[in-house]
Amino acid sequence: MTQWSAERTAAPDMTIAFVAYPGITMLDLVGPLQVCAALAELVPGYRTVVLGERIEPMGTDTPLAVVPSHTFDEVPDPDVLLVPGGLVPTLAAMADEELLGRLRRAAAGASVVGSVCTGSLLLAAAGLLEGCRATTHWLFRDLLVPFGVTPVAERWVEDGRYLTAAGVAAGIDMALHLVGRVAGADVARWVQLMIEYDPQPPFGGIDWAAVDPAEHAPFRQQALVRALGDHPELLARLSG
């Protein structure tokens, strides 16, 4: 344990904040949250919080609700800010200026600003990713373009202080990369071991060459209409 004791002593003070808002995809939040919580458990000096407008239960895309640990006002200047995604609620949140303003203010002094899945669309809508390379869920990747963002088909993308992950489960990979960035590769490997993250899906990996986004375009358009029907200008901008 000598190795870990040294790193525990040397760890900097750092607050890693996740954003909660109604309708998020649960794994977008709890996957990377578990990784960062393990970091905080193993190495003193790291704190993990979940921010919301209010400390009250918020629905997700599962039957389980989440309750933020802190409000945005209680933690106004996190060192790391991470935004989970979702489907219709997240697309609708692209027109929620109150939430976008919260993201801008919280991101202002952060050394790392990141997202999981369609959470990058919220960062883009807030004007935070303009001129950057980023990724998101494969079905929505090209929606980054109208916001001046270069979409990249990678598991996670790092561009300066911005760190974006592709769909849902990719957030775990991104979070392990983040741990390596802030605490070193040895600590990241220890976290990976402690959460026993060793994916071996029963049907193998995804055959991306066989995935045709155009085939699923009607589903995406239906989600956009449901989310942004009251915001025709933004809907038209994203509908091409």
Residues 57 and 37 sit within 8 Å (Cβ to Cβ) = no
Distance CA 235, CA 224 (A): 7
Distance CA 78, CA 213 (A): 36
> Which two structure tokens, joined as six digits, stand for 125?
């809508």
Sequence-distant (6+) residues with CB within 8 A of 83 are 18, 19, 103, 114, 115, 116, 119, 120, 122, 123
Catalytic site includes residue 36: no
Catalytic residue among 38, 110, 117, 178: 117
> Which two structure tokens, joined as six digits, stand for 30?
């709890």
Write the DSSP symbol of residue 72. T
Instruction: Tell me the C-alpha to C-alpha distance, in Å, between residue 187 and each of 11, 40, 71, 127.
Output: 11, 11, 29, 33
Distance CA 17, CA 181 (A): 16
List residues with catalytic annotation.
Answer: 117
